[in-house]
Structure 1
Amino acid sequence: MSNKNTVLTISSTLKALLAAPGAGCPDFGIIDEDWTQEDFAVLGNAHGVKHGLPVKTDYYSVILCLNGSCKKTIGHFVFEVYRNSVHLVSPDFITSFEDASDDLVLYQVLFKKEFLTGNFLKENVLDNLLEVNPDYPPIYGLSAKGFASLKALYEKISAESREKGAFHLQILRLLVTDLLYEMNRACESCLLNSTRHLSKQYQLVYKFKKLVEQQFLTLKTVQEYADELFISAKYLTEIVKAETGQNALHVIHNRMYLEAQYLLSSSGLSIKEIAERLNFDNSSHFSRFFKRFAGSNPSGFKQLQ
């Protein structure tokens, strides 16, 4: 059985974005298809795509939303991307988006850790900047002043990338480091103004969602997760509904569906192999499960990719 899944690189992401009709922001980001830097890129995104299939990347993205909105999934977090916000996408987590508004405009800085480590920045310092509070979705609202400052920083990164003057890589590393510190400042500000961290209920739902992310292939029922959390299934159902508006079983099934979409669209696995990978009894059971979410069977979904 093949274990190979597609993981997007900066190069493949850049190529796909530039190939999309009406892609990019003409006055921002890299628009040169011959860009050769493998560990860094800066992109504008304004091509009106409504949703994106689940993907994994081998790089980090720090994304500023200038206008519009969309629904974003990163690992076990589901949240709304909104105007004047910044969010972080980390490698190895499955990420997707949907319900993008027609006026959605994003600035994105993509980079690998290697771009900033080595002689420039110690790895433990970088890890601290990238491991923002794990208890909360990695999105942070910005004040008017903070947004203007961050937007100017993105545009300076874009200009430096296009001009490629003397020491441009060193300057880009300094600017990206500045960007990470500004993002962490926004993170700290959001947490100071939040009262959700005082809620034991929120913390318990977070533990449940994190456990789903880790165990969705083996634990399939609300009761199994409740046992792991030492609470009743009834209480788990109630608090998940109160915090998220979703049924606890839906959270479990939605994570399975996300993985199914990812495997169908980015691996060479057959339907039978994917059913086995996801621990379904047989292909028919998997197909019925998938059709409840997608409205089509797995083979139909796979043919459209």
Structure 2
Amino acid sequence: MTIYKEINELLTAMDISEKSDNPNFFMYRIEDHFGDKPIAFGPYKHDFFELTFGSGHDVDIQIGNTDFKPIDDVISFASPFQLSSWKVNAFKKDSLGYMIFFKYELLGEHLNKIEFHRRYPFFNLHSTPVFFLNSNQREATVSIMQSLLNEFQNNTSPNEIIIRSYLTIILEKIKEFYNAKSTLNAFTSRAEEITFHFENAIKAQTNYKLKIADYASQLHLSSAYLSEAVKTATQRTPHNIIQEYLILQAKSLLNQTNKTIAIIAEDLGFDEASNFVKYFKKAVGTTPHKYRNT
């Protein structure tokens, strides 16, 4: 399976001739590149975010361990290194779709990655929320996405501040939809729903000393049931997922602060800096010091 590190690498693989001069962002209208012919792509992974709106597409989609078949007015999400694949079987006459790729860096060099995932929980690393929009939500989404596409395509030098602003508005709107009672969160199973709430509970912590039993208690579940649900939904253990968020936070602190490694270790709940160094090296393949200086 191919893992795409750069957005333009993925565009080439998807046979999209247009490329982005901005390494942190690209957007296109699906019908402009794929017309009305069936097309399939994947499975694949990439080191950036993928945000898709679609209406009038007969499509089979896999993101993470979730398979779904949306037709009308759907937003779907893929986070870095989530497994993705899709097959468009047919387009309705008035179909419309947008696909956006972006990296953390587009939203600001000081962005804390964990804070991003806390603010936008629909980009959880393993859960795959899919939003089905009502007519008002669809209208708002299409309007903003088309404005963003116009800014991106119709200027010889697109203004990154404007692009960032439009993207932020889109993310904030989706969060508004996510919190609205009228929005249907289409978890395909109870296991996926439990995993979604488990990830949110992890992100709410300031350090990572809590055990599986602590999270199970927060979610009013037994430890065994939580572990079984997470394993069913993700093919990973709760410990694996806690580790992923710990490493994500560690990378943010190393990249975006001047804190010493000892202080970062303490912030993350390690009793000794040496234990943090060993933990980080085992997970990432290099020491925190070398990672910070690369």
Query: How far does residue 176 in structure 1 lie from its aligned partner after superposition?
Result: 0.5
Matched, 1:95 2:95: no
Q: Which residue of 2 aligns with 1:128?
A: 118
RMSD: 3.5
2:230 is the counterpart of 1:207 = yes
Q: Does 1:7 align with 2:30?
A: no
Q: Does 2:21 correspond to 1:36?
A: yes
Q: Which residue does the alignment assign to 1:163?
A: 154
- The 1-side partners of 2:160 and 2:192 are apart by 46
Identify which of structures 1 and 2 has the higher relative contact order when contacts are C-alpha pairs closer than 8 Å and 6+ apart. 1
Q: Structure 1 pair 122/166, CA: closer, same or farther in 2 (3 Å)?
A: farther
The change in CA–CA distance for 1:9 and 1:100 in structure 2 (over 3 A counts) is farther
Which of 108, 130, 144 is the matching residue for 1:153?
144
Indicate the percent of aligned positions where both proteins have the same amino acid: 13
Q: CA deviation at 1:188?
A: 2.4
| Amino acid corresponding to residue 209 of structure 1 in structure 2 | T
Q: TM-score, normalised by structure 1?
A: 0.55
CA contact (8 A) 1:68 1:83 kept: yes
AA aligned to 2:230 is: K
**Native 8 Å contact 1:117 1:126 kept in 2:** no
Q: CA deviation at 1:62?
A: 1.1
Quick one: structure 1 residues 198 and 210, their matched pair in 2 at CA, closer, same or farther if it must change by over 3 Å?
closer
Q: What is residue 30 of structure 2 aligned with on the other side?
A: 45
Matched positions, count: 199
SS class of match (1:155): helix
Gap regions ≥5 residues in structure 1: 21-30, 216-305
CA distance in 1, matches of 2:41, 2:192: 32
CA contact (8 A) 1:129 1:180 kept: no
2:177, 2:183 within 8 Å by CA — same for their partners in 1?
no
> What is the SS of the residue equivalent to 2:9?
helix
- Partners of 2:8 and 2:169 lie apart in 1 by 24
TM-score by length of 2: 0.57
Is the CA contact (8 Å cut-off) linking 1:69 and 1:80 kept in structure 2? yes
Q: Which runs of 5+ in 2 are unaligned?
A: 195-224, 239-294
The answer to whether the 8 A contact 2:151-2:158 is kept is no
**Alpha-carbon deviation of 1:114?**
0.8
Structure richer in strand, relative to its length? 2
Return the offset for 1:141.
Answer: 0.9
Is the contact between residue 51 and residue 99 of structure 1 (CA under 8 Å) also seen in structure 2?
yes
Q: Return the letter of the residue paired with 1:38.
A: P
SS at the partner of 1:179?
Answer: helix
Q: Deviations over 1:163-209 (max 9, x none)?
A: 33788110110111111111222222368766989968974684342
Name the aligned partner's letter for residue 10 of structure 1: I
- What is aligned with 1:66? 55
